[in-house]
Amino acid sequence: MGAAAFWISLALVVIAAMFFRWRSEQTKHETLRQIVEKTGQVNEAQLKSVFEPAPSVFNRVPPPGGGSRAMRIIGLLMIFIAAGTVIQFTVLGWTGVQPWSRALVGCGSASIVALIGLGLILGSRILPQPQR
């Protein structure tokens, strides 16, 4: 039931987006038709102002340094997550909830997460740095 509701809501969002885009284009054409009816001619500036596409989030060029900043933040978060995981497995091993062999496997997997985080931080130095 939940999966069907998800797909139905996704379809409704897509259909609504298509409708609003179609309605926007229809309004632009109606505006152009009214301009032609009133003036008898179309000024190129008016035509460009009516049919100029709206700026899109996907077309804008982000400022340099965003990737570097994101990699440093994600890397730092991964290092802290790894440290927390090591603390968690150490406590579980000390209290006897988990045998030490399993706790060491957890610490080993946390070290892999920490190394990936360190790799992201070091890799961020290769990308363009943000403007200060």
Rounded mean pLDDT for each run of 10 residues along the chain, 132 residues in total: 87 92 86 79 72 69 83 96 96 93 94 96 90 78
Query: Quick one: residue 40, left, alpha or beta (phi over 0 = left, psi -120 to 50 = alpha)?
Result: left
Q: Three-class SS of residue 113? A: helix
Residues 79 and 114 in one domain: yes
For residue 116, is it within any domain?
A: yes
Residues 47 and 83 in one domain: no
| Length, in residues, of the chain | 132
Residues 82/111, Cβ–Cβ less than 8 Å: yes
pLDDT given at position 55: 67
Domain interval for residue 40: 2-51
Q: What is the pTM of this model?
A: 0.54
For residue 59, is it within any domain?
A: no
Count of domains for the chain: 2
Residues 7 and 33 in one domain: yes
Residues 81 and 117 in one domain: yes
For residue 58, is it within any domain?
A: no
